[in-house]
Structure 1
């Protein structure tokens, strides 16, 4: 009997991989058949979750494909009656609410560009174990197919984020806001728009999107207007949890989201009096972290934020790359590599920070590998995907030159330590609030 095709067997199918890379089999969403959610603050979060699930189920061409990727979060969702025992792609990438019984505190987590709420399956456990209900959202244009990003802009993401934040504030007494990459930019944008509800106790920023290394991101919206020029990258799109292909319109929307938290913008805004936890790598090849340092410096201003002494940064990098202008009183945490295993990793990547090494899809022994550095070289692309031993790390020019093939790191070898730092931060902010 033939093996049932799943999201994992698709990854093993080399012929399908190359065919999809050439022909874009999963690049276009199916025709929309369900109405969109209005993001009215009076609508219950459960209604939002249902609407998002229906949208993914109807528009994602692989939504109903079996996907046996059982994270701890998924198993808890099954136990809570929020997911079926046998997962499909839609079940894993839809936004979720991991509920605590009789708890009045919650964390809302916003994913990044091209991602899905699956991004937070590992981090959700960290917050849940601290007694928090965990909510995630799906940014418009995500969860279906990459071409859906051609129809959205930063305003769409902001609208969804504002609904989720304010609905969560309506439902809980204490709220932590968390964002990864573009999601972090949306969190900062919200918190600096005006008076902040005192229910918000902290902002937690993972690989926050401040400025891209490519300073010509503003050009994307003009390039996108040229007929038949739609894509920056075209990949196989067999990663069930995030898009691999990348349209120009997505770069334009991301640039707009980041421009809203530029230093020029923040200069005219009210800084939030909430504690800020952030973590990033100094060799991140997606985001210019010198710009991130400048934004964190601005947000740390002691004249307007009495809680800035609680700010802390988990920094994966070299001290020499910390600018001299960075506040001397900023608590910086560095985790040294203390195992032979982590010494094999060639630098923390932008996309790896949020996943633990045992993640069944993105972890050290998982099937998925990020090989987007070789889109124009089928030989290296295939070797990266299927060769038994592949060096992993951030896709710097030096790493790509020294190691062939080379896969971009999709997990955090220091994840357990990061979880410990998050727990310590939460205890500190809760103690300060008493």
Structure 2
């Protein structure tokens, strides 16, 4: 190579390194040209490594061993794991104080499973995320439990935390195995345990609690946008479509969201459908739930999960004669309460918050993905750092407009909303989060009081 060629190569390397150093997860969100290129070419859709190593999920392995493994796993396989990401949630700052994270986070630091530790306490909550998500899902909710004196543990489901293509190689049994490990290990480490599941993981928890004897240390179950049945009743077809050569994806997006996948392979739909099928009403009738109170949160216009099916499930599980703890069962329902099915139990505690501030007046329905995030979340919150524009994957012009408009319309992406507004951004935060936090604290106090009277 000539001297000029060597100098040119060195210049390109230096320039590339400077560009990389200046790029972070927030700057990428503002780079529309990169977003469109990534959407079209799948730049972030595939793992950076095909390492076969996996965690054994043996109960005798300490949770700290699991956390260390998961962190390194993400670091090895996520193409942006080492990218700076200046998102400082309250939970992240707690992890820094506990010397579990550095003060300047990279993406891996934010999406890896974590444990917010109390000093010498005996109670814990285990929180498990949903399909395509990561433990970042719980950065806001974790604070509520931590403030109530609970150690907070989270789990990374297999196929998550790296790149969307990883979901092409997993199944519901792997999720169930990871869930069982996390529950058994937490029960082994603490005297009182609350289980919390969002979306698909709600189905995983319900399945676990109804297939085997459950340790009496588990005191309550909390479900956020629980996955019971999808709106699309043809989910079972996904496994057959996935076998057709070169037809692997339901959605192909930019995957610019550092905390969850935006692209969606057919196999992921297959695994989710299997998880939901495991808690079908016809099945649960033969496998009764233990004597645990249930706290649930759902929206009337959820376009991911059939809310009517979720209400039917809660109705079937609510038997105060068979399970006295059921008198504490609580439902936080966002939307029109008159749409709740007539056979829903009269003695169920129903909480239906109404809009009282400007935060929610211009929001058109609470979305499936919104319930877990605070408006103060520095990424998904009202500051509008990240925008979910998945309604326009097939229309680049509207997709770009959704990403850039100064006056987006937000809410759940119902057909009516998409037709009514020129661009529609899916709501990523819960305008009622403060009220929801109060309901959670109230429920926990009732659970602790109920157990104290046993």
Pick aligned residue for 1:107 from 125, 132, 139: 125
The separation in 1 between residues aligned to 2:323 and 2:192, in whole angstroms, is: 19
**Aligned with 1:433: secondary structure?**
helix
319-328 or 69-78: bigger deviation? 319-328
Q: Say whether the 8 Å CA contact 2:337–2:352 is kept in structure 1.
A: no
What is the CA-CA distance between 1:50 and the residue it aligns to? 0.6
Q: How far is 1:392 from its partner? A: 0.4
Is the 8 Å Cα contact of residues 359 and 366 (structure 1) preserved in structure 2?
no
Offset at 1:304?
2.1
Query: Secondary structure at the residue paired with 1:202?
Result: strand
Q: 260, 264, 271: which is aligned to 2:278?
A: 260
How many residues get paired? 434
Tell me the CA shift for residue 340 of structure 1: 2.4
Aligned to 1:357: 375
2:252 corresponding residue in structure 1 = 234
Structure label with greater radius of gyration? 2
Q: Which residue number in structure 2 is paired with residue 78 of structure 1?
A: 96
Please give the per-residue CA displacement for 1:220-266, whole angstroms capped at 9, x wherever unaligned: 00000111110000000000000000000000000000000010110
Matched, 1:211 2:258: no
Deviations 1:7-31 (A, max 9, x none): 0101110110000000000001022
**Runs of 4+ in structure 1 over 3 Å off:** none
Structure 1 residue aligned with 2:352: 334
CA distance in 1, matches of 2:73, 2:324: 43
**Within the alignment, does 1:314 sit opposite 2:332 as a pair?**
yes
* Alpha-carbon distance between aligned partners in 2 of 1:165 and 1:412, rounded to the nearest angstrom: 28
1:191 paired residue number: 209
1:317 CA displacement: 1.9
Which of residues 83, 91, 95 in structure 2 aligns to 1:65?
83
The 3-state SS of whatever aligns with 1:407 is strand
Q: Which residue of the partner structure matches residue 163 of structure 2?
A: 145
C-alpha deviation, 1:385, in angstroms? 0.8
SS in 2 for 1:314: strand
Query: Hey, what's the Cα distance between the residues in 1 that align with 2:196 and 2:243?
Result: 33
Cross-structure match for 1:271: 289
Q: In 1, distance between residues paired with 2:237 and 2:38?
A: 28
Q: Deviations over 1:305-354 (max 9, x none)?
A: 11110000000021221111111111100111001231100010000000
Q: How does 1:120-135 map to 2 (within 5 A)?
A: 120-135=138-153
Q: Deviations over 1:68-97 (max 9, x none)?
A: 000000000011011111100000000000
User: Contact 1:42/1:167 (CA < 8 Å) preserved in 2?
Assistant: yes
Following superposition, the deviation at residue 34 of structure 1 comes to 6.6
**Is contact 2:393–2:399 with CA below 8 Å preserved after alignment?**
yes
Contact 1:185 1:209 in 2 (8 A): yes
Q: Structure 2 CA distance, aligned partners of 1:320 and 1:35? A: 51
* TM-score, length-scaled by structure 2: 0.94
Classify the secondary structure of the residue corresponding to 1:192: helix
1:366 corresponds to 2:389:
no
- Deviation for aligned residue 1:388: 1.0
Q: Does 1:391 align with 2:409?
A: yes
Contact 1:195 1:270 in 2 (8 A): no
* Alpha-carbon distance, 1:272 to partner: 1.4
For the 8 Å contact 2:122–2:192, the answer to whether it is kept is yes
Write out per-residue CA displacement over residues 373-416 of structure 1, whole angstroms, 9 at most, x where no aligned residue. 00011111011111111010000111111111110000000000
Corresponding residue of 1:5? 23
CA-atom RMSD in angstroms = 1.0
Task: Show the counterpart of 1:200.
Answer: 218
- Structure 2 unmatched runs, 5+: 1-17
Match of 2:195, SS state, is: strand
Does the aligned pair in 2 maintain the 1:34–1:55 contact within 8 Å?
no
> Which range moves more in the overlay, 358-367 or 422-431?
358-367
Whether contact under 8 Å (1:271, 1:304) holds in the other structure is no
Q: Tell me the secondary structure at the aligned position of residue 161 of structure 1.
A: helix
User: Would the aligned equivalents of 2:249 and 2:266 in 1 still touch at CA under 8 Å?
Assistant: yes
Whether the 8 Å CA contact 1:146–1:246 is kept in 2: the answer is yes
Cα shift at 1:298 = 1.2
Gaps of 5+ in 1: none
The equivalent residue for 1:423 is 441
Distance 1:22 1:271 in 2: 46
